[in-house]
Amino acid sequence: MFEIAVAIILGCCALGAGTAMVAGIGPGIGEGNAVAKACEAIGRQPESKGDVTTTMLMGCAIAETTGLYALVIAILLIFVAPNMFIEILKSAIG
């Protein structure tokens, strides 16, 4: 019985981590748009390449934040949560 409970905990943690990383789609699209626009801007005004590049990198890093929240949750679910839940289960069984 205990083994089945542990298996369910591990499986659900893995499923949750995988589902959380769906949030990676958003930053991907957003950063792609940002880089595309930056390329257009550089094509129009090649002399402003330095400014455009630094601004683009900055914007990309900020757009990445939502993806990183999901990543942090996924890492917590894989490496931290199972041990915690198993401890709780053990203390509940006694």
Partner 1 sequence: MNKKSRWFFTVDILYISMMVLPFLVAIIIKILTNAPSAGIDITGADIYFTLPMPIQNLPITESQVNSFCVVVAVFGLCLFLTHGINNGKLTTRHHVAEWIVEKVENMVDGNMGKYFSGFAPFITAVLALSAVSSLLALLGLYAPTSDVNIVGGWALIVFVLITYYKFKGGPVQYVKSFGDPVPLLAPLNIISEVATPISMAFRHYGNVLSGSVISVLVATGLQGLSSMIFKFLPGVLGEIPFLQIGLPAILSIYFDIFSGLLQAYIFAMLTMLYVASGFPAEIYEKRKLKKQK
Q: Which of these segments, 4-12, 40-48, 66-74, 83-91, binds partner 1 (CB under 8 A)?
A: 66-74
Measured from the CB atom, the residue of 25 and 75 that comes closer to partner 1 is 75
Tokens read off for 23: 């949030």
Measured from the CB atom, the residue of 29 and 58 that comes closer to partner 1 is 58
Closest CA to 77 of 14, 4, 1: 14
Q: Shortest approach of partner 1 to residue 92 CB, angstroms? A: 25
Q: Which of these segments, 2-10, 35-43, 64-72, 82-90, binds partner 1 (CB under 8 A)?
A: 64-72
Measured from the CB atom, the residue of 19 and 53 that comes closer to partner 1 is 53
Q: Are 59 and 34 in contact (CB under 8 A)?
A: yes
**Does residue 75 interact with partner 1 by CB under 8 A?**
yes
Count of residues of this chain found to bind partner 1 when the rule CB under 8 A is applied: 12
